């Protein structure tokens, strides 16, 4: 077994275009046509807690994951080998369904890690079998006069002067007062006849109003708060103790992020472009250009082990289905044995019956 390694990769990013990165919507909230910038609580060197606009690590991970996994599966020519659960697990991290029976155990998780370094890196949930990933992605936090002293990456690698940086007040004013707006008009809302002249063939006024609302529903002005151009952020990637194939996958993942060079949303409108620089903590030197060379070892690993990985992926879908079926049957049998309740509930009922007697 190869020696385990740990990686910390600090970096800086600069916004080349405005960045639209919205806060997560509250559960059950109705969609709205305004996107507010994501903000996090940040402890300044004075001990004061300030709300700072930021780009989440999960947002970076999710966007880059799809690119990285797509390239991985293309290199393995493996898309046709995956069932829908495995494909969703790879590309999006999977899902855990409420009440579903969990498959596998420590041995199955170990098997996944050893056979699939990209799964060891990113983790996810496969038929309610949760596998923690070893990749850590830091928030992109703006460097301002207030955050400079409390941000070790900015202090170590940025060579910033406080006079050259915006204050938090200036940054927030720019975000609040210089919003971006766009309109959406869906082609196909009107037929050619409708586009030329009004159509007055509705059977009654209510149907007419409904038809007009349907035609107008695709037209709307959307507003987004934007982190402005030239904002500089600190950022990092980190890897927990991992074997060499997973370390190589880490560098390939970072390289995919650098190649894409985008964060947040509204990419089709030109938003979210960033310039990235990463540094070696040991030498303090920039190593951005060298990351592609380190990433090459991952793609070479896939090439050399393509047959074995493809065979494993071909067997994984059917294996997972069998395990899911067995887990569901076992759960149903346990529920029947417990009288339709959990073993904990049955224990309480038996204790209550004993006490009353």
DSSP state for residue 225 in the 8-state scheme: -
> Both 271 and 192 in a single domain?
no
Please indicate, yes or no, if residue 207 is contained in any of the structural domains: yes
> Both 153 and 59 in a single domain?
yes
Task: Provide the β-strand partners of residue 234.
Answer: 12, 141
Helix (H) or strand (E) holding 304: helix 291-304
> Both 144 and 201 in a single domain?
no
> Both 81 and 197 in a single domain?
no
CA distance 157 to 141: 14
pTM score, whole prediction: 0.83
SS (H, E, C) 114-156: HHCHHHHHHEEEECCEEEECCEEECCEEECCCCCCCCCHHHHH
The domain tally of the chain equals 2
Domain that holds residue 104: 5-170+227-309
Please indicate, yes or no, if residue 317 is contained in any of the structural domains: no
Please indicate, yes or no, if residue 64 is contained in any of the structural domains: yes
Q: Regarding beta strands 39-43 and 220-224, do their DSSP bridges make them parallel or antiparallel, or are they unpaired?
A: unpaired
> Both 234 and 219 in a single domain?
no
CA distance 15 to 41: 21
> Both 148 and 39 in a single domain?
yes
Cβ count near 191 (within 10 Å)? 9
CA angle 207/213/214 to nearest 5° reads: 90
> Both 194 and 280 in a single domain?
no
Please indicate, yes or no, if residue 120 is contained in any of the structural domains: yes
CA distance 232 to 171: 11
Please indicate, yes or no, if residue 348 is contained in any of the structural domains: no
The structure tokens listed for 152 are: 């070790």
Please indicate, yes or no, if residue 322 is contained in any of the structural domains: no
> Both 274 and 305 in a single domain?
yes
> Both 75 and 90 in a single domain?
yes
> Both 87 and 185 in a single domain?
no
Per-residue pLDDT of the chain (357 residues; tens, 9 = 90+): 568 999 999 999 999 999 999 887 777 767 778 889 999 999 998 899 999 999 999 999 999 999 999 999 999 999 999 999 999 999 999 987 766 778 888 999 999 999 999 999 999 999 889 999 999 999 999 999 999 989 999 999 988 988 889 999 999 999 999 899 887 655 554 444 544 444 444 456 666 666 666 555 556 788 999 999 999 999 999 999 999 999 999 999 999 999 999 999 999 889 999 999 999 999 999 999 999 999 999 999 999 999 999 999 999 999 999 998 888 888 888 888 877 555 444 444 444 444 444
CA distance 76 to 310: 7
> Both 112 and 251 in a single domain?
yes
> Both 146 and 85 in a single domain?
yes
């Amino acid at each position: 077994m190869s020696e385990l390694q740990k990686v910390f990769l600090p970096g800086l990013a600069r916004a080349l275009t405005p960045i639209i990165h919205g806060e997560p919507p509250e559960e059950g909230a109705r969609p709205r046509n305004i996107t507010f910038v994501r903000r996090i609580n940040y402890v300044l060197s004075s001990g004061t807690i300030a709300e700072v606009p930021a780009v989440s690590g999960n947002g970076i991970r999710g966007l880059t994951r799809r690119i990285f996994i797509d390239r991985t599966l293309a290199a393995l020519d493996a898309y046709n080998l995956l069932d829908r659960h495995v494909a969703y697990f790879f590309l999006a991290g999977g899902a855990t369904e409420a009440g579903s029976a969990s498959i596998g155990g420590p041995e199955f998780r170990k098997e996944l890690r050893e056979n699939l370094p990209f799964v060891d890196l990113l983790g996810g949930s496969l038929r309610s079998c949760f596998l923690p990933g070893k990749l850590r992605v830091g928030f992109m936090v703006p460097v301002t006069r207030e955050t400079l002293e409390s941000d070790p990456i900015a202090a170590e690698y940025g060579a910033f002067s406080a006079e050259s940086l915006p204050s938090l007040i200036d940054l927030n004013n720019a975000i609040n007062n210089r919003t971006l707006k766009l309109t959406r008009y869906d082609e196909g809302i009107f037929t050619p006849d409708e586009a030329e002249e009004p159509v007055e063939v509705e059977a009654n006024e209510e149907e007419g109003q409904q038809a007009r609302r349907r035609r107008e529903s695709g037209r709307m002005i959307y507003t987004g708060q934007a982190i402005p151009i030239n904002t500089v952020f600190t950022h990092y990637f980190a890897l927990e103790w991992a074997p060499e194939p997973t370390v190589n996958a880490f560098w390939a993942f970072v390289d995919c992020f650098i190649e894409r060079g985008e964060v947040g949303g509204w990419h089709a409108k030109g938003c979210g472009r960033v310039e990235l620089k990463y540094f070696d903590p040991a030498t303090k030197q920039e190593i951005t250009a060298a990351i592609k060379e380190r990433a090459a070892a991952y793609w070479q690993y896939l090439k050399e082990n393509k047959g074995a990985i493809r065979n494993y992926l071909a067997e994984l879908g059917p294996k997972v289905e069998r395990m899911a079926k067995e887990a569901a049957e076992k759960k149903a049998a346990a529920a029947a044995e417990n009288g339709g309740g959990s073993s904990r509930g049955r224990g309480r009922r038996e204790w209550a019956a004993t006490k009353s007697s």
